[in-house]
Amino acid sequence: MLRVTEIFHSIQGESTHAGRPCAFVRLTGCPMRCVWCDSEYTFTGGERMSVEDVLGRVRAYGCRLVEVTGGEPLAQAGAFELIARLCEEGYEVLVETGGYVSTAEVDERAKIILDVKCPASGEAERNHWPNLGRLRADRDEVKFVVADRGDWDFTREVVTRYDLQRRARAVLVSPVWGETDLRALAEWIKESGLDVRMQLQLHKYVWGAEARGV
């Protein structure tokens, strides 16, 4: 069984898949507490559903791209079965994970979007660093949410130390919504010479920062 906050059909808002129609399965619960978290509503509640029930909801959308997200989706044991079943049914599966749980048991057909938590999140010490060694350059992406200059310096250091430009399909750099100085972030990226991708959260521009299930 799974605990599910919401299942909905929308437009992918982040990563190199941004702009594509996508079905989302948002699982409940997260062991982390990033200070700028925009999905605290997933921490509690949710509806208990079987993997089969979730698959039924996803199939009804007729959308071949599916993202399993949270909260922290991999904190639920049933998530691994759900991901494998979606892959078996031929969906293109994205798994958005906060980087605290090991990705070792995720079905290899799924594409990982792996967060690395920066210092201003308050959770940087909980990064599970071996996850970076599992990234596959043809499909997996790594994401840094940057609040300030200290976070950017951390990002630069981790990207270089772990050779992420080569190891990942994309290195995504996201501002904290409403907090990060966007022009400053753009300048830091330009000056660094790193091949990283600044990204904004497309869905928030379309439906607003507080919208859910769209």
Q: Is 70 in the site for ligand SF4 (CB under 6 A)?
A: yes
Stretch touching ligand SF4 by CB under 6 A, among 26-34, 82-90, 150-158, 188-196: 26-34
In the list 27, 30, 95, 101, the residue contacting ligand SF4 (rule: CB under 6 A) is: 30
How many residues interact with ligand SF4 (rule CB under 6 A)? 10
The token pair that represents 194 in the structure block: 């790193």
Handedness of CA 117, 31, 180, 150 (dihedral sign): negative
Q: Which residue stretch of 34-42, 80-88, 127-135, 161-169 sits at the interface with ligand SF4 (rule: CB under 6 A)?
A: 34-42
- Which of 13, 46, 73, 98 is in the footprint of ligand SF4 by CB under 6 A? 98
Lookup: tokens for 85: 């079943």
Detail the DSSP E strand segments found in 20-81.
21-27, 47-49, 65-69
Nearer to ligand SF4, 116 or 135 (CB): 116
In whole angstroms, give the CA distance from residue 54 to residue 74. Answer: 16
Are 2 and 42 within 8 A, CB to CB? no
Could you say whether residue 71 binds ligand SF4 (CB under 6 A)? yes
Q: Is 212 in the site for ligand SF4 (CB under 6 A)?
A: no
Residue 34 touching ligand SF4 (CB under 6 A): yes
- The sheet that has 141-146: what strands, in order across it? 47-49, 2-11, 21-27, 65-69, 92-97, 111-116, 141-146, 170-175, 197-198
Min dist CB 98 to ligand SF4, Å, is 3
Output the DSSP codes for 113-178. Answer: EEEE--GGGT-GGG--THHHHT--TTT-EEEEEE-SHHHHHHHHHHHHHTTHHHHSSEEEEEEPTT
**Cβ atoms within 10 Å, residue 214:** 13
The reply to whether 2 sits near ligand SF4 by the rule CB under 6 A is no
CB of 140 to ligand SF4, least distance (A): 17
Taking CB under 6 A as the criterion, the residue among 1, 19, 33, 213 binding ligand SF4 is 33
Which residue of 11, 16, 39, 198 would you call a contact of ligand SF4, by CB under 6 A? 39
List residues binding ligand SF4 (CB under 6 A): 30, 32-34, 37, 39, 70-72, 98
